Amino acid sequence: IRTGDIEEVGDDTHLTFFEMLGNWSLGDYFKPEAIDWSYEFLTDKKWLGLPVEKLAISCFAGDKDAPQDNESAELWQKLGIPQERVTFLGKEDNWWGPAGQTGPCGPDTEMFYWIGSEPAPVVFDPADKRWFEIWNDVFMQYDKQLTESGKNKMVDKDWDGSFSTEDFIFKQLKQRNVDTGMGLERTLVALNGLRSVYETDLFAPIMDKVKNILPTIDVKSQRIISDHIKASVFLLSDGVEPSNKDRGYILRRLIRRAVARANMKDIDFDSQKLKLIAQIVLENYKDIYQEFKQEDKRSDILNKLSLETRKFRATIEKGFKEFEKGTDPFILFTSYGFPIELTQEIAAEKGVEIDLGKFNKDMKKHQELSRTASAGQFKGGLADNSEIITRLHTVTHLMNAALRQVLGEHVWQKGSNITAERTRFDFTHPEKMTEEQKSKVEELVNGWIGRDLTVKKEVMPVVEAKKLNGIGVFGEKYADTVSVYTVIDSKTGEVVSREFCGGPHVEHTGVIGQFKILKEEAVAAGIRHHCGYRLSRQSGF
């Protein structure tokens, strides 16, 4: 899985999921042998048998860190590649690594195949997309190390985390290694005289199903949906779960992009339609990946895809409507759970420019409101400042208001703790709540959520805030100036909740989802707590 080029997916060559062929050497052979064998495998009739006149090569152009890789270029030319078909490119194109800031790295040489309908031009122009990269030989011969200036930065308590070129030096490795990678799908394009990886038999059945379900969709969207659903199937097969972290976020992002792309063309694209496409992926690969034949494995993959799609559908429908209204991308993200990447893509489709700088600035300010106070806990009892916790934070205010309405104004908040799994709320009350009281609190909170009330923030002197009857945490000391969050019906002017709070909160209660009290118990004399959770969430989670 590779998402570094995710914006390029949908052209003739780029995929997020692909199968890689390769060979490597750890301290054994190096450039002469690797290049000779690569050429043999590409051109010899007993292997791929590709015509030499359709091949071109790129090598490292050199810079202040390492010299131009003339050795590789000369080796290719000796084998029969014309000088005009060998070009030199910079680090961005012909250099690998290191994986981190320091470590093994080195130049690489890339092999290209001409897929144009006319004869290949005499001179190789890597900017011409008809030259199709199919193989890459990486020569790890350098060790990128920190210089004294770089080492000094890392122990400087005021260091901002950035490095300059003077902070590194490239030294020759004692053991030189080779690592090569050949894209299976791209190789099939060359062998079968095709123009795109999406025309191969690894993709054609999936593409056909997408076209069948979405007959009016454009080719680029067909490709993106096919690729992303295929990649999602394999990630789920490997045990990755949709989440907001690491591999889980990659999976979630792929599913979201597929669903969003489909819904841009077909408002009725739902989890059942996505499952039909995923089933083709499973069928297409079941003879190679035996686990795809297992009914329980297939069901697990399809059910998880379906669940994630259903969760995101509510978000995307609301997000599309808000986007059409011209809602700020930051509000789309924080209040409606609409990812900035999707906002950017939709904007690009419609020729609208997004101010990413403003979004990042707003996000930074948003995060600072919830910066940790101590021991990893956020102010206000938040475990972090993610979207789901922001929504649970707002529902805590609604619960506080409902408790005061049902039990009486003796109820004060004594504390709270909010994680992605639940919100816990400590409050003053002398006795156990009845089932009727708990049901009434749930009814009030869910009613306010269903009315999609506005959540408004104001900054004012604490004296003025108290005049507005703003509620605070019992025993809490406040600064001279406070933020006040008000939950209000903008149509009638009815104020449901008004509290002193540092945030963050949603902009509208309608994005929260359904609320349920899971348990209520005493934690100290006169203090009880609720543990609540949303049963369904109108978000991407």
For 210-225, how does the pLDDT look when each residue is reduced to its tens digit (9 = 90+)? 999 999 889 999 999 9
Q: What pLDDT is recorded for position 113?
A: 98
Phi/psi region, residue 62 (left: phi>0; alpha: psi -120 to 50; beta: rest), is left
Read off the CATH number of the domain in which 25 is found: 3.30.930.10
Q: Answer yes or no: is pLDDT of 312 > 60.
A: yes
Q: Answer yes or no: is pLDDT of 330 > 90.
A: no
Q: Whole domain around residue 394: which residue ranges?
A: 380-534
Q: At 374, is the pLDDT very low, low, confident or very high (cuts 50, 70, 90)? A: very low
Q: What pLDDT is recorded for position 46?
A: 97
Domain count within the chain: 3
Q: How many CA atoms lie within 13 A of 393 on its CB side?
A: 28
Q: Are residues 316 and 385 in the same domain?
A: no
How far is residue 1 from each of residues 307, 377, 453, measured CA to CA in Å?
22, 34, 42
Q: Are residues 429 and 347 in the same domain?
A: no
**Count of helix runs (H) and strand runs (E) in the chain:** 16, 17
Q: Are residues 271 and 324 in the same domain?
A: yes
User: Does residue 153 belong to any structural domain of this protein?
Assistant: no
**Cα distance between residue 89 and residue 63, in whole Å:** 10
Q: At 469, is the pLDDT very low, low, confident or very high (cuts 50, 70, 90)? A: low
Token pair 């694209």 in the structure block, residue: 269
* Mean pLDDT confidence for 159-185: 92
User: Does residue 313 belong to any structural domain of this protein?
Assistant: yes
Helix or strand (DSSP H, E) at 141: strand 131-146
3 state SS of 111? strand
Q: Answer yes or no: is pLDDT of 457 > 50.
A: yes
**Cα distance between residue 137 and residue 69, in whole Å:** 13
Q: Are residues 234 and 257 in the same domain?
A: yes
User: Does residue 540 belong to any structural domain of this protein?
Assistant: no
Tell me the pLDDT tens digit for each residue of 78-109: 999 999 999 999 999 999 999 888 999 999 99
Q: Answer yes or no: is pLDDT of 382 > 70.
A: no
Q: What pLDDT is recorded for position 511?
A: 86
* Mean pLDDT confidence for 390-404: 90
Q: Are residues 391 and 354 in the same domain?
A: no
Q: Answer yes or no: is pLDDT of 378 > 50.
A: no
Q: Are residues 398 and 525 in the same domain?
A: yes
User: Taking the model in full, what pTM does it have?
Assistant: 0.64
Q: Are residues 215 and 284 in the same domain?
A: yes
Which residues sit opposite 427 in a β-bridge?
413, 528
Of 218, 331, 213, the closest CA to residue 271 belongs to 213
User: Does residue 166 belong to any structural domain of this protein?
Assistant: no
* Mean pLDDT confidence for 442-467: 87
3 state SS of 392? helix
Q: Are residues 329 and 310 in the same domain?
A: yes
